[in-house]
Amino acid sequence: MVRLAVLVAAAILVIGAAVAVIAWLNDDDEPDRSSVALACGAVHRAEPVDVRDPVDVHLMGAAEQFSRAAAVEDKARQPLAEAIEQLANLVFYESRPADSPELRAAVAAVDQQCGATGQDQESLAGQACAVTPTTIATGDVAARDRLIGAAELVSAATAAEPKYARLTGALRDAAGEYGLAMTPAAARRWLDPVHAVCRDLQLEP
């Protein structure tokens, strides 16, 4: 009876440990690089922020992610978290106009922190150029998200970085046809224009 009780207790401990490990592995509080990139790309917009625009919605989502991350001792990103939250508050809760001094200052603060984390536009566009026909054709969700996310991002940066305008168009086309690109050949047809622009911009990985 004692041995049985010990075995049951041990089993409970093992199961509890396994559940804890799985929960840790699935923890959503740690923001990934794509969230950082989306947030940093969104602040380069030259037009008023629009809650109907996916890029601007990403900004708010990233702000929420960063606020959670800062609470779980993500000290390195805490200044960026605070800057993004301040910008998101001005945009979504206070509805400040795009030309207001407060909003301009908040954008500048986020830009400064983005630079400190190495999230410049060239590195973000480079992420899009790393998507290959094979990864798209095999249903790699992460690759698809990089492609679509980069299309939004590079689009947001176009006003400040005109050289990315062609890449924006190619990415938009490729992202829009992702559902049809079920084979490497079909995917290549849509991604070839993207990689041609990537080569021109010397952004090939």
Higher per-residue pLDDT: 65 or 109:
109
Cβ neighbors of 158 (< 8 A, separation 6 or more) are 164, 165, 168
Let me know the angle formed at the C-alpha of 65 by 101 and 161, rounded to the nearest 5 degrees: 50
Q: Half-sphere exposure of residue 167, counting CA atoms within 13 Å on the CB side?
A: 34
From CA 81, how far away is CA 62, in angstroms rounded?
9
Residue-level pLDDT at 26: 35
- Tens of pLDDT, residues 38-57: 555 555 443 455 555 555 55
Whether the per-residue pLDDT at 3 is higher than 80: the answer is no
From CA 167, how far away is CA 164, in angstroms rounded?
5
**Structure-derived torsion over alpha carbons of residues 90, 91, 96, 102, reported in degrees to the nearest 10:** 50
Q: Are 150 and 125 in contact (CB under 8 A)?
A: yes
From CA 136, how far away is CA 120, in angstroms rounded?
25
- pLDDT band per the 50, 70, 90 thresholds, residue 16: very low
Residue-level pLDDT at 100: 77
Q: Are 193 and 173 in contact (CB under 8 A)?
A: yes
- pLDDT band per the 50, 70, 90 thresholds, residue 29: very low
Whether the per-residue pLDDT at 194 is higher than 50: the answer is yes
Q: Closest Cα partner for 87 from 66, 64, 104, 106?
A: 106
Token pair 């490729």: residue = 174
Give the distance between the most distant pair of CA atoms in the chain. Answer: 76
Q: What is the mean pLDDT of residues 170-181?
A: 65
From CA 180, how far away is CA 183, in angstroms rounded?
9
